[in-house]
Amino acid sequence: MRPGRLIGKTVLALAGFMAVFPLLWTALNSLKNNVDIITRVPRLVFTPTLANISYIIGRDSVMIGLYNSVIACGVAVLIGVVLGLPAAYSVARYPNRWAGDIQFFVLSLRFLPPVAVAIPLMVIWLQLGLYDTLAALIVTYSLLTISVIMWLAIPAFQAVPKEVEEAAFVDGYGAYSVFWRIALPVAARSLTGAVAFSFVLVWNEFLIALMLSSSNAKTLPIVASELSQQGMNVPWGILNASVVLLSLPPLLFLGVLSGFLNSVFRQKKT
């Protein structure tokens, strides 16, 4: 068993290394001058520079992309919370004979190929004169956030002990204040995870943003992908810096999301 364990541990360590090294390498490259990147033998020792990062931050297109991403994703997530959480609570606590169908409908929205949604939406927004606006992007993203938040929040509300809510009813709380004062706070941790997940999903979204924007409403992923289309003439360090900037916001949620994952599986155990 001994050598087996050793091999197992080595494989795991290698996988852990593979998980983060490419990203760390990108972050390192964002601090390099071009001469230190374009080398046949990778260079670990180099004189670091902040030129790439300051170039990225100083570019208007990047800042506008960042602004668009923050607004579009923020508002869409907010809409998802306002519409998705109550609906999820209602499905979880007041099940009717359509509850299964509603859940399936919400999930089935995820089957829709993004191109199949993006092409007609582009035509529709063009006709309404809303093409290439943040409003169009927000409405489109809301479909994503509402359905994902609903899908993840239903089990979160179901996990709230029924007795707690029953007791509140006995104390004379109405249905709405039970939702507001009991269910929401008790399920808050799982719900935060669900909301964070929906944010990461729309932040990372690419195809719909690409098809629904041409200049004004470009989100950060689109701006980043365009930097590279100028070919390899753009210094790699700058491209790497833009990748780092794009990747930071979702990584901020790493703690919340791994906690969410843990709580989901702790529920299953009991």
Partner 1 sequence: MARRSSLPVTFIVPTLAILLVLSMVPTLYAIVIALQNRELSSTAYSYVWFSNFYDLFFDRRFLNAVWVSVKWEIVTVAATMAVAIGLGVLMFEVASPRLRNIYCLLFIIPVLLPRVSAAFVWKFAYHPLYGIATYPYRLLTGGLIFDPLSKPATALFAVASVDVWQWGLFFAVIVLKLLETLPPQPIEAARLDHAKRWQIHAYVTLPMLKAPLISLMFVKMIESLRSFDLIYVMTRGGPGVATETLDMYAFSQGFIESGKVSYASAMAVLMMIATVITFTMLWKRVQA
Residues 99-158 that bind partner 1 (CB under 8 A): 102, 104-117, 119-124, 139-140, 142-143, 146-147, 150
The separation between the first and the last C-alpha atoms of the chain, rounded to the nearest angstrom, is 33
- Residue from 200, 212, 238, 241 in contact with partner 1 (CB under 8 A): 200
217 binds partner 1 (CB under 8 A): no
- Residue from 53, 160, 211, 212 in contact with partner 1 (CB under 8 A): 211
45 binds partner 1 (CB under 8 A): no
Cβ 135 to partner 1, closest distance in Å?
14
Question: Are 83 and 146 a contacting pair, CB within 8 Å?
Answer: yes
> Applying CB under 8 A, which part among 53-61, 129-137, 186-194, 259-267 lies near partner 1?
259-267
241 binds partner 1 (CB under 8 A): no
Cβ 91 to partner 1, closest distance in Å?
7
- Close Cβ partners of 14 (under 8 Å, ≥ 6 residues apart): none
Nearest by Cα to 176 from 93, 254, 253: 93
Within 48-77, which residues bind partner 1 (CB under 8 A)? none
> Applying CB under 8 A, which part among 58-66, 70-78, 97-105, 153-161 lies near partner 1?
97-105
251 binds partner 1 (CB under 8 A): yes
- Residue from 23, 135, 167, 188 in contact with partner 1 (CB under 8 A): 23
> Applying CB under 8 A, which part among 51-59, 60-68, 166-174, 184-192 lies near partner 1?
166-174
84 binds partner 1 (CB under 8 A): yes
Nearest by Cα to 149 from 70, 92, 95, 212: 92
Q: Give the residue with the Cβ less far from partner 1, 214 or 216.
A: 214
Cβ 208 to partner 1, closest distance in Å?
10
- Residue from 50, 169, 181, 185 in contact with partner 1 (CB under 8 A): 169
2 binds partner 1 (CB under 8 A): no
Task: Report the distance separating Cα 81 and Cα 95, nearest Å.
Answer: 20
Cβ 107 to partner 1, closest distance in Å?
7
Binding-residue total with partner 1 (CB under 8 A):
97
The four Cα atoms 148, 207, 131, 116 give a dihedral, to 10 degrees, of -80
Residue 179 to residues 26, 96, 100, 172: CA-CA distances in angstroms?
Answer: 45, 18, 21, 13
- Residue from 137, 224, 238, 241 in contact with partner 1 (CB under 8 A): 224
